[in-house]
Structure 1
Amino acid sequence: MRLIGMSAVAGCVALALSVPAAMATPGADPIATVSPNTVQPGQTVHLTLRNCENPGEGGLAEGSLVGGETTARSPIGITELKAGDDGTLVGTATIENAERGTTETIYLACNSNVDKVVETTVTVTR
């Protein structure tokens, strides 16, 4: 799945942060995590994305479109990821529009390589 608006955001992001690129393993695919990975609707989760070629460019995370005539997403809306001190991209999001008792997918990508979208999942408890 290609992240909606990723190309537009990637072009607008300034290299305002000075972040070490040494944390990225050359040629390695990005690795995404969500914590906690078992949640309830309304709970905040922490997102991380490692191995971006240029972490200073940031990244994005988002859930799937809910459908119909809406731009709502589940389990999270479009969320900006920013580079931490170690070059890992981080962000927080609130679980919304997610059905209890399901496992939902979150898509993440580095702005430096928007074609490499990685997935992680979160389980929404009953």
Structure 2
Amino acid sequence: MRLIGMFAVAGAVVLASAAPTAMATAGDDPVATVSPNTVQPGQTVHLALHNCENPGEGGLAEGSLVGGGTTARSPIGITELKAGADGTLVGTATIANAERGTTETIYLACNSNPDEVVEATVTVTH
């Protein structure tokens, strides 16, 4: 299921810190991190989503639609997240379609609870 469809039914969006070394503790709520969180276009980032109910089901991450009749997304395209050894969902993505000097949002969700969308941000440097 695509995350965009989830935005319409999501009751609440959980905001998470995107600092690569800091992890917010939000009880059992999913928490997202992106590393590094200051990037340049074309750079690869590592995504992590913690506290999914069933990590074996995986998850998804994606950026916002760019618009203008295209399916392109910024700062990342649709990215599959898979369970790591510790149950954290992980994936990598390349920063694309992002303007320098902006802060961009990445949306992440566990497939076991797709209505709970978590946000992480990256700053695209000059």
Class of the TM-score when normalised by the shorter of the 2 chains? 0.7 to 0.9
Give the total of aligned pairs: 106
Supply the AA of the counterpart residue of 2:109. A
1:93 alignment counterpart: 93
Supply the AA of the counterpart residue of 1:54. N
1:44 aligns with 2:44: yes
TM-score (norm 1): 0.80
Partner Cα distance (2:29, 2:114) in 1: 12
How far the C-alpha of 1:43 sits from its partner, in A, is 0.1
1:115 alignment counterpart: 115
SS at match of 2:4: coil
Q: Aligned-pair RMSD on alpha carbons? A: 1.6
Bigger Cα Rg: 1
Runs of 4 or more above 2 Å deviation: none
How far the C-alpha of 1:5 sits from its partner, in A, is 6.3
SS at match of 1:68: coil
The share of aligned pairs that are identical, in percent, is 90
SS at match of 1:4: helix
Which string of whole-angstrom CA distances, capped at 9 and with x for unpartnered residues, describes residues 86-124 of structure 1? 000000000000000000000000000000000000000
1:28 alignment counterpart: 28
Partner Cα distance (1:84, 1:70) in 2: 33
How far the C-alpha of 1:59 sits from its partner, in A, is 0.1
